Chain A
Amino acid sequence: MCAGELRSGPSIPPCQGDVMAKVTKLHVNGTTYSIDADPQTSLLFVLRDQLDLTGSKYGCGEGQCGACTVLIDGNPRRSCITPVGAAATRQITTIEGLETNGRLHPLQAAFLTEGAMQCAYCTSGMIMTAVALLKANPHPNAEQVSQYMEGNICRCGTQPRIVAAVLRASREAAR
C-alpha cells in the first residue's frame, strides 16, 4: 500500500447504463442538444468540448476529486467516468443550469456569502454535490455535510467555508 492511500473511497459512483450506438441527443439543463459522440466518450468531454459547458471541470479522470460532478436525473455523478451513452436518455443538470431567471440558486448565493472559494476550480463540483445532499437531506449537520462531500477535493483548503455555505443554504431554504 502506498503511503497516504485513501482510507475510504469517494461515495459517488459513475453513472451506469445502456451502451448504445452513436449518441446524437443529450438533455442538459432543460435543453435538448444535438451531439455526435461515441457512447463510450466521457460525458465530461462532451459537455465541455461539444456543448461548451465548461463549468464542469476535469480534475483527475478517475472520479476521485469531484470537480466534474453533475446531476443525472437528480443524482450526483462523476461525469469524467460516466460514458455519455449512459446519460443519453436522462436529464442532466450542470452548474450552468442552476440559476433561474438570473437568480442564483441558494447554494450559489451561500458560497458567495461565505467566501467559500479561493481558486474556485472545485466550486462547481462542490455546489452540484451539495445540491444533491440538500435534496436527500435538507437539514444536515456539519458532520453529515463533511461526510457527504468527502469525495470532493478542495486543494486550496476552503473546506470549513464550504461546510458553512451548505449549512447556510440549508438554513435559508428553511425560512
Chain B
Amino acid sequence: MSSKRGAPDRVLRDSVLRDPAVPVIEPERYELRGSSPYRFELQRRDFFKFLGAGLLVACVMKDALAFQESGGGRRQGGQNLPREISAWLHMGDNGVVTVYTGKVEVGQNIRTSLSQAVAEELHFPVDRIEMVMGDTKLTPYDMGTFGSRTTPTMNLQLRQVAAAARDALVDIAAQQWKVDRSSLVAADGTITDPRTKRTVEFATLVKGQRLTQLIPTEDPLVPAAEWKIEGQPIPKVDGRDFVTGKHKYPSDQTLPGMLHGKILRPPSFGATLASVNPPDATVMSDVTFLHDGEFVGVAAPSQELASRALQWVHAEWKPAEDQTSSKNIFDYLKTHTADDKSRDSAPYEVGSVEQGLKSADHRLQQTFTVAYIAHAPLEPRTALAQWSGDTLTVWTGTQRPFGVRSELATAFHIPEENVRVLMPDTGAAYGGKHTGEAAIEAARLARAANRPVKVVWTRQEEFTWAYFRPAGVIDVTAGVRTDGTITAWEFHNYNSGGSGIRTFYEIPNQRIQFHETSYPLRQGSYRALAATANHFARESFMDELAHELNMDPLAFRMKNLKNDRLRAVFEAGAKKFDWGRTKSAGQGFGMGGGFEKGGNVATFAEVTVDRESGDVRVVRVVTAFECGAIVNPDNLVNQLEGANIMGLGGALFEAIEFENGQILNPRFSKYRVPRFSDVPVLETVLVNRTDLPSAGAGESPLMGIAPAIGNAIFDATGVRLRSMPIVPNGLPKM
C-alpha cells in the first residue's frame, strides 16, 4: 500500500533534531530524587553511537511536541530529545529494527503483540524486530506494566512510531528517485516503485545516516479491518528460547565473583530485632555478615553456605502485640473502618436508595466476603545487584523497573541516574511484583560484600513477605419489582478495593462506596484488583434476586442491562453454553460477567456436586469476551483460559491462613493452587470489534468465573455460598 502523508520534505520538516553538528547547548538536568515522571538518559549522539547509523523515530506526547515545535524545546539545546517520550524505534542500516519501551514481559506475551504492532505499520517482517524492554538506562520512562494499559497505550504508540518510520523511509526513497511519494509502495521491509519496478531495502535507505524524527501521538493508522500482521495468531516471538531452557530469567542471571545472599526474617509480622550476634568467626570464612538497623543478612559463595550461615546467626526478636487471624478477619475489617472517613472514596449516589427500596416489591440484603490470597508467581522475587563505585546495576523481576530504580535511589541515597534496573522477561507477576524488596536486599548485601550478590526468595519467603490480594467484606442491599426491574442498589466494599465497584445495570437509585479499614497483612495489587471481589458480590446477588423473583437469571440481567457490548457477550456466551437446557441430578449452571478496563466478559460454568462427599467439580466453562479489535487471537484465548484457571483457584479454594503474625500455609503443599485435575473443559467465544480500539485482556477475564461457579452450585444444590473461596473443603454439610 502507499503511504499516507503528503509532502516529500516531510522528513526534513519533522526532523527537529536532525543535524548532528549542532553542539550541546545545555545538558540534560536531573533532580537527585525528583518526582518528575519523565526521564531521558541518552542524548541523541549517544544513541547513534550505541546503535549505529540509521533512522530514529520517537513518539512524543502531543503537548510536549507542540512545545518543541514552538521553539521552546529547541532553545534548551538541540541535542537532547524531550523527556516526554514514551517509546522509540531505530531502523539500523544493518537491517535490524530495534524498539524501545519501558513495558515488561511477565508472560502476558506483549513482546510478541508489540512486535506485531510495529511490523504491521512499518511493513516489516516480525522476526527482524528486536524489542528492548524495561531497561531503565535504554528505554523511555514508563510508570509500569499494570492496569491492562500496554495494549491501549503502548501498542498504539508503537504503531504510530512505526507508521512514521515507514513514511520517513518512503520520503527518502521518493527524494532519491525524484518521484512522487504517493506512487511508492512499502511492503515487507522494501520500498517499490511499481512503474519502474525499482526496489530498495529499508536498510539501504538509511545507510550512514543519522536521521531523527519526533512524531505526535495522532498519526493515521492502518484500520484494524485491514490488518495483515496484527490480528494474526503469531506465536511467541522468542518461544524457542523458553522450550530449550536458554532464556535467562532474573533468577538465572550471574556475574563473575557473584555471591548468594540470604536475609534473616522476623519470626512474625511486626516483630522487632532485640539483639543479634554474628556467627562464630570460625565458621564464617567466605561469608559476609551484615547487620544494619532491622536488616540482617549474609552473603556466601554458594546458596547452601549462605543458608547455613543464616542458621548460625543468633537473633532475638520482640514479637508485636496480639494480631488478628484469618478466622476473624471479616469481623476485624468491619469493626476497623478508618476513623477519618475522608479517606473513604466519595460515595457514588444516584437518586434515592431509600425511595427506591420503598417502591420495591422485594427487598434483599446480603454480605459477601473475600479472603486474602497470594499471587504465587512460579518465579519468586529475585535480584542480582552489582556496584561500581557509587553506581548500581540491578537485574530483577518487577512490573515497575523505574519504580524500583526510585526505591533503590532512595534506599542508598544516590541519584536515580546512578541506578540502572534491568528486567529480563520474568516468571510471572500477576500484579504481585510492583515493588523492589529483593533488589534492595541484594544491593545492600552487594555493597557490604563488595561483590555482586544474588538474592532469590524461597517459596516460603514469597508466601510470607510479598504482599497479598486484600481480604474484604461487601454488603449489598437491593429492591426489585415483581416484573424484574431493579429499583434500588446499595453496595459497600470494606477494604478489598474500589475497582469494578459500580454496577453496569440500569438502576435509578444507587449508593456505592468503598471504605478504607485497618488491615493485618501487607496488601497490594493483584491481577484484576478488586473487580474480582466486586463482581463476585454483584453477580452472585443478581442471581439471588433473579431466584427471589422466579426469573431466569439471564433474562433478569437482560431486563436491567442496556450496554450493547456487555449484552453481546452475555448473548454469545449463553448461545455457546446452551443456556436453558435441562440439567441432570447434581448438575448446576451459573453465569457471571461484567466489564472493566475495556474488556467485556460473560462466563458460564457447569458444575457437578456430590452431596454425599461434598465434592464440587467445575466441569465446563464457556467465556465470551470482547476487548475491541483483537491483536492476537491465539494469545487472547491463552489469556482467557489462564485467567479462568487462575480465577478458579481464588473462587474455589485459595486462602491465606494466618494467626499471630504468621502465615500458616506458606508452601505449595499447604496453599492449594489449581492443578491439572482442577481444570475444566474451557471454551471461548471471541467477539472481534475491529471498529473499536484494542483493550488489554490480561485482567478482566478473571472476573466472571467466581460468581459463575457460585451460582452454578446454587443451581445444583439450593445452597448459596457467599464467601470466596467458595468451597475450600468441599460443600459444607447441611
Interface residues of A (CB under 8 A from B): 1-6, 9, 38, 40-42, 45, 48-49, 52-62, 64-65, 67, 94-96, 98-99, 104, 108-109, 111-113, 115, 117-124, 127, 145-147, 149-163
Shortest C-beta distance, A125 to chain B (Å), equals 9
Residue B363 interfacial (CB < 8 Å): no
Tell me whether A118 and B642 are in contact in the complex, defined as CB-CB below 8 angstroms, given that A57-B427, A59-B378 are known contacts: yes
B725 touches A3 (CB 8 A): yes
CB neighbours of B246 from chain A (8 A):
55, 96
Question: Within the assembled complex, what's the spacing in Å between the Cα atoms of A97 and B295?
Answer: 41
A121 touches B245 (CB 8 A): no
A155 touches B302 (CB 8 A): no
- The interface centre, meaning the residue of A96, A117, A151 with most chain B CB atoms within 10 A of its CB, is A117
CB neighbours of B672 from chain A (8 A):
3-6
Question: Within the assembled complex, what's the spacing in Å between the Cα atoms of A159 and B303?
Answer: 32
Closest to B105 in A: A119
Closest to A96 in B: B245
Among B252, B303, B378, which residue has its beta carbon within 8 angstroms of that of A67?
Answer: B378
A121 touches B379 (CB 8 A): yes
Subset of 5 A-B contacts with CB under 8 Å: A54-B249, A55-B244, A57-B249, A99-B244, A155-B377
A4 touches B665 (CB 8 A): yes
B676 touches A147 (CB 8 A): yes
B248 touches A54 (CB 8 A): yes
CB neighbours of B242 from chain A (8 A):
117, 120, 123
Residue B359 interfacial (CB < 8 Å): no
CB neighbours of B676 from chain A (8 A):
145-147, 149-150, 152, 159, 162-163
Among A1, A9, A127, which residue has its beta carbon within 8 angstroms of that of B243?
Answer: A127
CB neighbours of A145 from chain B (8 A):
676
Residue B70 interfacial (CB < 8 Å): no
Tell me whether A147 and B645 are in contact in the complex, defined as CB-CB below 8 angstroms, given that A59-B459, A67-B378, A117-B239 are known contacts: no
Closest to B680 in A: A160
- The interface centre, meaning the residue of B242, B247, B728 with most chain A CB atoms within 10 A of its CB, is B242
Shortest C-beta distance, A26 to chain B (Å), equals 15
A121 touches B729 (CB 8 A): no
Closest to A120 in B: B242
A159 touches B243 (CB 8 A): no
Residue B458 interfacial (CB < 8 Å): yes
Shortest C-beta distance, B563 to chain A (Å), equals 28
Closest to B240 in A: A112
Interface residues of B (CB under 8 A from A): 106-109, 233, 235-236, 239-240, 242-249, 251-252, 254, 260, 302-304, 376-380, 425-428, 430, 456, 458-460, 634-635, 638-639, 641-646, 653-655, 657, 664-665, 667-677, 679, 682, 725, 728-729
Question: Within the assembled complex, what's the spacing in Å between the Cα atoms of A61 and B634?
Answer: 33
B304 touches A45 (CB 8 A): yes
Question: Within the assembled complex, what's the spacing in Å between the Cα atoms of A125 and B676?
Answer: 14
Closest to A65 in B: B668
A4 touches B655 (CB 8 A): yes
B673 touches A118 (CB 8 A): no
- The interface centre, meaning the residue of A55, A118, A124 with most chain B CB atoms within 10 A of its CB, is A118
Shortest C-beta distance, A123 to chain B (Å), equals 5
B654 touches A4 (CB 8 A): yes
Question: Within the assembled complex, what's the spacing in Å between the Cα atoms of A98 and B243?
Answer: 10
Shortest C-beta distance, A128 to chain B (Å), equals 10
A3 touches B653 (CB 8 A): yes
Tell me whether A150 and B725 are in contact in the complex, defined as CB-CB below 8 angstroms, given that A95-B245, A158-B642, A161-B641 are known contacts: no
B459 touches A4 (CB 8 A): no
Closest to B428 in A: A119
Question: Within the assembled complex, what's the spacing in Å between the Cα atoms of A53 and B642?
Answer: 28
Among B260, B426, B668, which residue has its beta carbon within 8 angstroms of that of A64?
Answer: B668
Question: Within the assembled complex, what's the spacing in Å between the Cα atoms of A91 and B51?
Answer: 45
Closest to A155 in B: B378
Specify the main secondary structure of chain A where it touches its partner: loop
Shortest C-beta distance, A133 to chain B (Å), equals 12
Question: Within the assembled complex, what's the spacing in Å between the Cα atoms of A87 and B601?
Answer: 50
CB neighbours of B679 from chain A (8 A):
146, 157, 159-160
Question: Within the assembled complex, what's the spacing in Å between the Cα atoms of A115 and B113?
Answer: 14
Question: Within the assembled complex, what's the spacing in Å between the Cα atoms of A5 and B233?
Answer: 38
A38 touches B243 (CB 8 A): no
Question: Within the assembled complex, what's the spacing in Å between the Cα atoms of A29 and B684?
Answer: 41
Shortest C-beta distance, A75 to chain B (Å), equals 19
Question: Within the assembled complex, what's the spacing in Å between the Cα atoms of A162 and B240?
Answer: 16
CB neighbours of A40 from chain B (8 A):
304
Question: Within the assembled complex, what's the spacing in Å between the Cα atoms of A29 and B181?
Answer: 57
CB neighbours of B670 from chain A (8 A):
2, 4-5
Shortest C-beta distance, A145 to chain B (Å), equals 8
A115 touches B677 (CB 8 A): no
A156 touches B428 (CB 8 A): yes
B236 touches A115 (CB 8 A): yes
Shortest C-beta distance, A52 to chain B (Å), equals 7
Closest to B460 in A: A61
B107 touches A118 (CB 8 A): yes
Question: Within the assembled complex, what's the spacing in Å between the Cα atoms of A61 and B302?
Answer: 16
Question: Within the assembled complex, what's the spacing in Å between the Cα atoms of A10 and B667?
Answer: 14
Question: Within the assembled complex, what's the spacing in Å between the Cα atoms of A162 and B560?
Answer: 40
Question: Within the assembled complex, what's the spacing in Å between the Cα atoms of A42 and B728?
Answer: 33
Closest to A113 in B: B235
B677 touches A147 (CB 8 A): yes
- The interface centre, meaning the residue of B425, B643, B673 with most chain A CB atoms within 10 A of its CB, is B673
CB neighbours of A127 from chain B (8 A):
243
Shortest C-beta distance, B291 to chain A (Å), equals 26
Question: Within the assembled complex, what's the spacing in Å between the Cα atoms of A113 and B206?
Answer: 36
Closest to B239 in A: A112
Closest to A145 in B: B676
CB neighbours of B377 from chain A (8 A):
119, 121, 155
A115 touches B235 (CB 8 A): yes
B427 touches A158 (CB 8 A): no
Closest to A9 in B: B669
CB neighbours of B675 from chain A (8 A):
150-151, 153, 159
Shortest C-beta distance, B721 to chain A (Å), equals 14
CB neighbours of B426 from chain A (8 A):
119
Shortest C-beta distance, A7 to chain B (Å), equals 8
Question: Within the assembled complex, what's the spacing in Å between the Cα atoms of A124 and B252?
Answer: 14
B248 touches A61 (CB 8 A): no
Question: Within the assembled complex, what's the spacing in Å between the Cα atoms of A104 and B239?
Answer: 12
Closest to B375 in A: A155
B657 touches A3 (CB 8 A): yes
A64 touches B667 (CB 8 A): yes
Shortest C-beta distance, B115 to chain A (Å), equals 15
CB neighbours of A123 from chain B (8 A):
242-243
Closest to B302 in A: A49
Shortest C-beta distance, B310 to chain A (Å), equals 14
A121 touches B428 (CB 8 A): yes
Q: A3-B653, A150-B677, A156-B646 known; 4 other A-B pairs, CB under 8 Å?
A: A56-B245, A61-B459, A61-B460, A121-B428
Shortest C-beta distance, A38 to chain B (Å), equals 7
CB neighbours of A158 from chain B (8 A):
638, 641-642
Closest to B425 in A: A119
Q: State the 9 A-B residue pairs at the shortest beta-carbon distance, nearest first.
A: A55-B245, A119-B107, A157-B645, A121-B427, A4-B672, A157-B642, A3-B728, A95-B245, A118-B107
CB neighbours of A111 from chain B (8 A):
239, 243
Among B459, B635, B638, B646, which residue has its beta carbon within 8 angstroms of that of A60?
Answer: B459
Closest to A107 in B: B243
CB neighbours of B729 from chain A (8 A):
1, 3
Among B108, B233, B248, B674, which residue has its beta carbon within 8 angstroms of that of A157?
Answer: B674
Shortest C-beta distance, B19 to chain A (Å), equals 45
Shortest C-beta distance, A8 to chain B (Å), equals 8
Shortest C-beta distance, A90 to chain B (Å), equals 20
Shortest C-beta distance, A68 to chain B (Å), equals 11
Closest to B672 in A: A4
CB neighbours of B430 from chain A (8 A):
155
Question: Within the assembled complex, what's the spacing in Å between the Cα atoms of A111 and B242?
Answer: 10
- The interface centre, meaning the residue of A119, A124, A149 with most chain B CB atoms within 10 A of its CB, is A119
A155 touches B376 (CB 8 A): yes
CB neighbours of B243 from chain A (8 A):
95, 104, 108-109, 111-112, 117, 120, 123-124, 127
